[in-house]
Structure 1
Amino acid sequence: MNKALTRNDGQLLKLLEGNIREHMQQVIVERGWEYFRKGYVRKVEVHDQHLLTGVVAGSELYAVSIDVMDFAYSRCTCPYDGFCKHMSAVFFAFCDHNQALHGTPESAYRRLTGLQPEPAPRAAVVVEQRGKAASTPGMDASPADWQAWMEQEYGDSWRVCRHSLHSLQPVLSALKGTSKDWDKKKQRLHWMNVILFVLDQAEQAIKAVDSFSRYYHEMSFVRMAEPWLEHYYTLVLELSPAEMLEDERDWADAVVGYAYNRALRKEQQLFDWPYIYLALCGKMSENRDWQQRELASMLASAGEQTETGDEQVNDSFIHTAIAMMYFFDGQDEEALAHFGKTDFRGSQKMVYTCAAQRLEEGDWEPFEAWMTYLYKHIYAIRSGRTVGPFLTLCRRADTDQPDNLKWTSYMTSLLPHSYSELTDHWFAQKKYEEWAELQMLIGALPDDLPIQDVREVSKVNPRVMMPLYHQAIDSWISSRNRQGYRMAVKQLKKLERIYKAEKEMDRWQVYITGIGRKYQRLRAFQEELWKGKIVT
């Protein structure tokens, strides 16, 4: 090893072993073991506490890079498309250097190939200290039984997440492994439930972090959990709600209920649980019976919240959920009515999703209603950060429906915050006159604009550049210093070329004569005009 190890390397090895178990075929693991045993691994290093690199000899030397926190980004320079034997060999070499932290490479190999059982995760050891662990439920057990078992076996996993979520990866891998022989449809739902359970453990872990360090831990935790969430959303898209059998629907309802109960909390949370819940609802709503039942449940919850007024319940989320259920059913007016009862800062992500879908469908009447709702809220709190998504929709709408002046009206009314987007949009649409008028309105100088844009406009429609140069020249002269006068002369030369290209040299002579007379008392400026051969 070329770099001293840290005390976190034991967790690094556990996490890496879990990644290999989950993503690498057993035959690849076995080939990597042979490469390690034959001494083909030439070098192993640790970087930034989560990046493992190595060099492995094969038909040539191959460089391996393993991102333990985000295994999907691991790479090898060999031709194999996927997680290869060279990565496996590097893992075993890493184990060999750290036997005190993770055991021998032989023991790791036996665990990965099933020759000996995997040691219980640390969280499970804590549970066993309280009492004898319950046996693992089978495929026929109910979601409630599984939930109770996971809480008993792994409910304390969050306690070892002091600085990172590394210790949760083995928990996730172990729980996924309990359903490796299940029917794929049911296994998919079980894995979704497992992912939410592990995310819930992360939520409990962040609460134990002191307020001074919370910000930095949040960034680390969220980054670590990104592949877990991505896998969850992938599994959601693979569901077939219309074809679900009764036991599959029970599992789906359990996952929905898990996400809903988390989203219902008003406390600050690490993950976007409302979105986690609604992403699943969007897919499940392909079954209209399910959608109607869930909507009825949401409406009942809203009524109960009105009566009880529980301050711990996120009533804004409830109305967001109702709005989305109406949207899934094509009832946009009802959806907008309930979005009106939400905190826009929290619900705007879903509102944009609705508007974008109607735009994609070319359903202009409801799309205009969504945009009217968005504009009212965006204009009230307009800033460079908040207008971006709205302007993106406006640009697409103006491209698809150029005769509707509402879209450009929205964009211009949000100036100066919309300047950049509007500039790019009008230039892309080749609306050079509007583009030039916008630059004048903002007070942009030609030298401040992308040179390739100025060249294109000057070539295609040079006349629209004239007012821009006139404004820039006056601005530089008004600086009342020698450098400003030189810049004014530079702009005058460019303007002269445009007048010449347009065959309007008579107008140019009138203009330059007027400039000379207007500023005849500025001796330094007159000298620069003479040096630049603008006047003789």
Structure 2
Amino acid sequence: MLQTSLSKAVLDQAARQLKKEVTLSNQSAMKKGLKLYREGFVYNAAIVQNGVIQANVLDENVYKPTIYFTHLSQSHCQCSDSYVCPHLLALFFYLYSHVGQIGELIREWNTKRTGNILPLTKASELVTPSSSVRNWINQFQKAYHLFFAKSNKGDYAFIHQLCYRFFPSLLNEAPMLLVEKRLYHLHAALFTFCRLLEEGQHYQHISYYRSFWIANVSEFMETIKKKCEDLAKVSIPKSFAPLLEESREYVRHILFAGDALMDERIAIYQMVWSVLFHNEEWNQQEKEWLLQRQEERGDIVLECQLALAHLAFLRGDDEETFSLLKKLKFVPIPYVIIWIKNLIHGQQWERLKHWWELCITSMEWYLAATNYSDGAIITRELLYLYDRYAKATGDDENYEILLQVLLPYSASDYSYFLLTSKQYKKWVDLHLLADIDVNNIHRSFLKVVETYDRSLLLPLYHHAVHKMIQLKKRESYKMAVKHLKKLRTYYRALGKKEVWNRYITKLVEEHKRLRAFQEEIQKGKLLNDQKV
């Protein structure tokens, strides 16, 4: 690999020799080479032979500078007879970036003998976008018309083709500049999402087709998420402000694009705002625009409220976020989870503490309105996130309360928590409340409670006996007798033989009409025990 084939010592030596060549007369070559490197126009760098590196550098044409680190003066490029050209310098900066700071190197090169430093143009001043969002959308629209004309419009598989044929085709026309390229990729994904939204309207009332549509949309949302994550890894120059302004308008358009896929539309709004729009003035402008839009239209309250809540979240104003959420019919926990994940990613632990309180007070209403599958998914996510929070802060004050409000979905986790914290009475009550058969409880757990205080287990076995008798089957009667024998053992060990005798006598009398049960009682020799 290039990173390991050239040592810092070799590159520093080459840097010192190049510094002698980069005099005041050819500062322009250095500046252009720096610009080409910073804009990502150096690619396919490879080792030609030991100490010889070649790469492609995109300028007006594609050039192939070659650097000979053993004999630097032999280095060359097609663009000039002089080996110190912008393309060769761009390649050198690319290589040097693996071992040192380019900014420090350039400052050293620009230092005159008097010790003063020549002004160096910032990368953000050199980089400007080559197009606009409007031009991109027009380009996407033309490509879509051609794609649409060649496709089977009545075929529901067209949805799949949008994701896996049309969208990749758009990426072939992406700009070369890294920042602009990633922004272009995001807009290509957003444009494709809008087409998915439009085409999906045809399948809303056909269950199989709708399921196919939703599945493809869910997969494509991961693509949009990935494009947002890619953008988060680069610094966007100030010169891109007009492009971002256009992007803001397009994201608004998606937020209110029809009635379908509301969760996905809001999620896109949240993701893009979190990555691209960090300007406080833009945030305030967006807030005012949304408030006005909400006042004008009464059918988009949820979209506006959640968008406003996200803007408040980005400003760090959690009180306003909570206030906006509580005005809704019930707090939408899936969106809350997205915000909690952002806080964990940013390690904003103190701020996060108040979000658990919101979850606890809102969870009952939310779970009552959702289906079992979604409730189980939400429970797993919240407990995982709380575990990360507790490990980072040592604060597990709200953990048990959270487990309680998440019941019945959290029964397994709550059971383990109660057992490990030695709250054995609560542990038994939980199993009774959840109607869990004692046969389905791991023997090792029962043994722990039994060792501590076996009397706590009596209600579990009494409940199990009653449940088995109610089934009125021979096999269930046999199981009831098995539980009764365990009860007899416990009562004996507790010195409560008389209590056992009264219980078994009453039980047999109550169910004297159940002949099979009476036979199993006789086989188990439970009545004979009263004479012992």
Place the TM-score, normalised by the shorter chain, in its bin: 0.5 to 0.7
State yes or no: 1:170 paired with 2:165.
Answer: yes
Deviation of 1:147 after TM superposition, in Å, equals 1.4
- The verdict on how the C-alpha distance between 1:405 and 1:145 changes in structure 2, with shifts beyond 3 A counting, is closer
1:349 counterpart residue number:
334
Structure richer in helix, relative to its length: 2
Q: 1:232 is aligned with what amino acid?
A: I
1:128 counterpart residue number:
none
For the 8 Å contact 2:186–2:224, the answer to whether it is kept is: yes
Question: RMSD of aligned C-alpha atoms?
Answer: 3.9
For the 8 Å contact 1:264–1:318, the answer to whether it is kept is: no
Distance across 2 between alignment mates of 1:382 and 1:141 = 45
122, 136, 144: which one pairs with 2:134?
144
- The verdict on how the C-alpha distance between 1:475 and 1:144 changes in structure 2, with shifts beyond 3 A counting, is closer
Distance across 1 between alignment mates of 2:148 and 2:420 = 51
1:330 counterpart residue number:
316
State yes or no: 1:293 paired with 2:281.
Answer: yes
510, 516, 525: which one pairs with 1:533?
525
Pairwise mapping of residues 225-264 of structure 1 onto structure 2 (< 5 A)?
225-240=217-232, 243-264=235-256
Instruction: Give unmatched runs, 5+ long, in structure 2.
Output: 1-43, 45-127
Distance across 2 between alignment mates of 1:396 and 1:147 = 39
303, 322, 327: which one pairs with 2:291?
303
461, 472, 497: which one pairs with 1:469?
461
Deviation of 1:371 after TM superposition, in Å, equals 2.6
Deviation of 1:319 after TM superposition, in Å, equals 2.0
- The verdict on how the C-alpha distance between 1:225 and 1:406 changes in structure 2, with shifts beyond 3 A counting, is closer
Deviations 1:418-461 (A, max 9, x none): 65564455356554331211122344331244556545655676
For the 8 Å contact 1:259–1:274, the answer to whether it is kept is: no
TM-score (norm 1): 0.61
Deviation of 1:189 after TM superposition, in Å, equals 0.8
- The verdict on how the C-alpha distance between 1:284 and 1:527 changes in structure 2, with shifts beyond 3 A counting, is same
Q: Secondary structure of the residue that 2:231 maps to in structure 1?
A: coil
Pairwise mapping of residues 373-388 of structure 1 onto structure 2 (< 5 A)?
373-375=361-363, 377-378=365-366, 381=369, 384=372, 387-388=375-376
Deviation of 1:527 after TM superposition, in Å, equals 4.5
For the 8 Å contact 1:412–1:418, the answer to whether it is kept is: yes
Deviations 1:274-326 (A, max 9, x none): 101211212235x3xx1x23321222223322542364xx2321221121121
- The verdict on how the C-alpha distance between 1:201 and 1:271 changes in structure 2, with shifts beyond 3 A counting, is farther
Distance across 1 between alignment mates of 2:380 and 2:218 = 28
For the 8 Å contact 2:270–2:310, the answer to whether it is kept is: yes
Pairwise mapping of residues 414-429 of structure 1 onto structure 2 (< 5 A)?
419=411, 422-423=414-415, 425-427=417-419
Count of matched residue positions in the alignment of Structure 1 and Structure 2: 386
Q: Secondary structure of the residue that 1:167 maps to in structure 2?
A: helix
For the 8 Å contact 2:403–2:410, the answer to whether it is kept is: yes
Distance across 1 between alignment mates of 2:525 and 2:402 = 46
2:200 counterpart residue number:
206
Q: 1:326 is aligned with what amino acid?
A: A
- The verdict on how the C-alpha distance between 1:396 and 1:452 changes in structure 2, with shifts beyond 3 A counting, is farther
* Worse-superposed segment, 255-264 or 221-230: 221-230
TM-score (norm 2): 0.61
Deviation of 1:394 after TM superposition, in Å, equals 6.5
1:115 counterpart residue number:
none
Distance across 1 between alignment mates of 2:481 and 2:440 = 16
For the 8 Å contact 2:481–2:524, the answer to whether it is kept is: yes
Deviation of 1:200 after TM superposition, in Å, equals 1.5
Instruction: Give unmatched runs, 5+ long, in structure 1.
Output: 1-25, 27-137
Distance across 2 between alignment mates of 1:402 and 1:533 = 54
Q: 1:324 is aligned with what amino acid?
A: H
Distance across 1 between alignment mates of 2:130 and 2:356 = 49
State yes or no: 1:489 paired with 2:508.
Answer: no
Distance across 1 between alignment mates of 2:451 and 2:397 = 28
Deviation of 1:184 after TM superposition, in Å, equals 1.6
For the 8 Å contact 2:197–2:260, the answer to whether it is kept is: no
For the 8 Å contact 1:426–1:434, the answer to whether it is kept is: yes
1:510 counterpart residue number:
498
Structure showing greater Rg: 2
Deviations 1:50-109 (A, max 9, x none): xxxxxxxxxxxxxxxxxxxxxxxxxxxxxxxxxxxxxxxxxxxxxxxxxxxxxxxxxxxx
Distance across 2 between alignment mates of 1:370 and 1:271 = 20
Q: Secondary structure of the residue that 2:261 maps to in structure 1?
A: coil
Distance across 1 between alignment mates of 2:262 and 2:307 = 19
Q: 1:170 is aligned with what amino acid?
A: R
Identity among equivalent pairs (%):
17
Distance across 2 between alignment mates of 1:274 and 1:195 = 15
State yes or no: 1:370 paired with 2:358.
Answer: yes
For the 8 Å contact 2:255–2:266, the answer to whether it is kept is: yes
For the 8 Å contact 2:322–2:358, the answer to whether it is kept is: yes
Distance across 1 between alignment mates of 2:422 and 2:342 = 27
Q: Secondary structure of the residue that 1:238 maps to in structure 2?
A: helix
Distance across 1 between alignment mates of 2:480 and 2:211 = 49
Q: Secondary structure of the residue that 1:512 maps to in structure 2?
A: helix
Q: Secondary structure of the residue that 2:427 maps to in structure 1?
A: helix
- The verdict on how the C-alpha distance between 1:301 and 1:391 changes in structure 2, with shifts beyond 3 A counting, is same
For the 8 Å contact 1:172–1:195, the answer to whether it is kept is: yes
For the 8 Å contact 2:428–2:460, the answer to whether it is kept is: yes
Distance across 1 between alignment mates of 2:219 and 2:385 = 31
- The verdict on how the C-alpha distance between 1:298 and 1:339 changes in structure 2, with shifts beyond 3 A counting, is farther
- The verdict on how the C-alpha distance between 1:362 and 1:492 changes in structure 2, with shifts beyond 3 A counting, is farther
Deviation of 1:240 after TM superposition, in Å, equals 4.5
Deviations 1:2-44 (A, max 9, x none): xxxxxxxxxxxxxxxxxxxxxxxx9xxxxxxxxxxxxxxxxxx
For the 8 Å contact 2:333–2:363, the answer to whether it is kept is: no
Distance across 2 between alignment mates of 1:475 and 1:240 = 57
Q: 2:287 is aligned with what amino acid?
A: L
